[in-house]
Amino acid sequence: MLVELALVEQRHKAVLEVFGGFTVVDVARRYGVARQTVHEWLRRYAASGLSGLADGSCRPATCPHQTPAQVEARVVEMRRAHPGWGSHLLRHHLEKEQTDPLPSRSSIYRCLVRHGLITPTPRRRRPKDYRRWERSRSMELWQMDIMGGVKLADGSELNIITGIDDHSRFCVCARLSPRATAHPVCEALAAAMRRYGVPDQVLTDNGKVFSNRFGVAKGEVLFDRILRENGVKHLLTAPRSPTTTGKVERFHKTVRREFLEGRIFASLEEAQAELDAWVDSYNSERPHQGIGMVPPARRFALASGEVRVVLAEPEEDADSFQRAEPDHRRVQRIVDGTGRIRLVGFHYHVGRYLAGEMVEAEVSEDGLISIFHREVLVATHARKHLPEKDPEGWKKQPKPRRVLPKMVGRPVIRKVDPAGCVSFAGTNYRVGNGYRREMVEVRLVGETVQILYEGKIIRSHEARHDKEKEHGAFANQVGRPRKLKTS
């Protein structure tokens, strides 16, 4: 009959056998354990009796690298006094206080989790998977935007017109306004340039106060005029791409968390005074995690102090618009079907939505390749080729852009084939993959073939067809699309 013995009983029986005269080697072989294990049972039985044969905790008796209680209490105190501080800032201030031993950021994070001061969230991407770009020096690029949410005691809200230097994260503009219309925004821009100088470039989104890109009326807006007359290049983000202006968006998060959270101001003047004081602390005292835990003013101080003339209130005269001189370091490429362009044997991703479109690639001295579509920044990549292998197009004056003539001529209707082309007089003309299987209008204007969709010119090509076949093309007002070979 089989009898099942408990673990402690088996160990006790083995110990009694050793006491009865059996050797440790024989007992270990009989119970299927190492002889060192039998010796351990004998020591535990001699020290604690039968209870010493039970399984104990695997937790070590001491932990030399455990955070001392005094340091942990200081971390909790600082976090409760400053709810917006994370592990980076807490460790920075502990280091300034010469705390010994200085805990690591992960130790501070676990301490905050233990005390319920933060809620742990699963990390979707590792920090090293992010690729972050910044300009190589101060005053090379400003990012500007508008944020709301400043509450007044009378129930109204104010907007903040913000500006951040891309390299140093220095706040160059933080002005409150009841309405973020064109004039307050331009006054904030002009005041920032008078105080800190004129940057090389300004990056904004496609808001109506910044650009007339999607506006109905033609001509430039007041913001564009100020930049143009001061020699500043205006960069626009792609539609629905807030990450392009990520630095100023992240600044908005800091303002909301450290300055606006739970606060209501009595008046605009009071709010502006307190905002100015907070911005001064942000620029000169508060360490910034993105630039190595130094205040933004330390980086921004390396910029040149040259201040050029700024027009305070330029006249809004759209007829005086002059296009800037073309960049000598740009080259044009057509985006392929996979959304990429090819430069010096390497591919750079642009986006499938631009397949078939003409884009311009520009290389900068710090090794960045910026890709523009209709003067809008759509992608930025690190240069993959060697500097001495730059394309020849970057070393000579590019051809000026061709101005589309007015819509005249006899129209015909064509359907765009699956390849994104239309056939006119026996010749294929490119329309774009975005118009596949759509009906477009084709006009012959002099030596130019214009393609229109919903009354707007979308492409213009130099006529490449045989002139003798034009009568057949106009006779067939609604032609058939070209059939593609399937084999």
Instruction: Answer whether 314's CB lies under 8 Å from 297's CB.
Output: no
CATH 3.30.1360.180 fits 141-300, yes or no: no
Q: Which residues contact 309 (CB under 8 A, 6 or more apart)?
A: 230
User: Given this model, what pLDDT does residue 3 score?
Assistant: 45
Neighbours of 406 (CB within 10 A): 8
**pLDDT for res 165:** 94
Can you list the pairs that 426-429 forms with residues at least 24 positions away whose Cβ atoms lie under 8 Å?
426/465, 426/466, 426/469, 426/473, 427/464, 427/465, 427/466, 428/482, 429/459, 429/461, 429/464
Q: Give residues with Cβ within 8 angstroms of 1, minimum separation 6.
A: none
Beta strand segments in 83-232, E: 141-151, 157-165, 171-177, 201-204
Largest Cα–Cα distance of the chain, in whole Å?
119
Position 215 scores a pLDDT of: 74
Q: Could you tell me the two tokens for 117? A: 């001061």
Q: What is the pLDDT of residue 423?
A: 87
What residues are paired with 226 via a beta bridge? none
How would you write the pLDDT of the chain (487 residues) with one tens digit per residue? 344 558 888 888 899 999 888 999 999 998 999 999 999 999 988 988 888 888 888 877 777 778 888 889 999 999 998 888 888 889 888 988 888 888 998 899 999 998 888 888 776 656 555 566 788 888 999 999 999 999 999 989 999 999 999 999 999 999 999 988 889 999 999 999 999 999 999 999 988 899 888 876 667 888 998 998 888 999 999 888 888 899 999 999 999 989 998 899 999 999 999 999 999 999 998 888 888 888 999 888 865 454 444 554 444 443 333 333 444 467 888 888 788 898 888 888 888 777 777 888 888 777 788 888 777 778 888 888 777 666 655 544 444 444 333 334 567 888 888 888 988 888 899 988 888 888 888 888 777 888 888 878 888 888 888 877 776 777 665 555 444 454 4
The third-level CATH classification (topology) of the domain covering 69-120 is: Arc Repressor Mutant, subunit A (1.10.10)
Question: If you write DSSP's letter for every residue of 9-27 in order, what string do you get?
Answer: HHHHHHHHHHHTT--HHHH
What pLDDT is stored for residue 130 in this prediction? Answer: 57
Helix, coil or strand: residue 458: strand
β-strands 340-343, 346-349 pairing: antiparallel
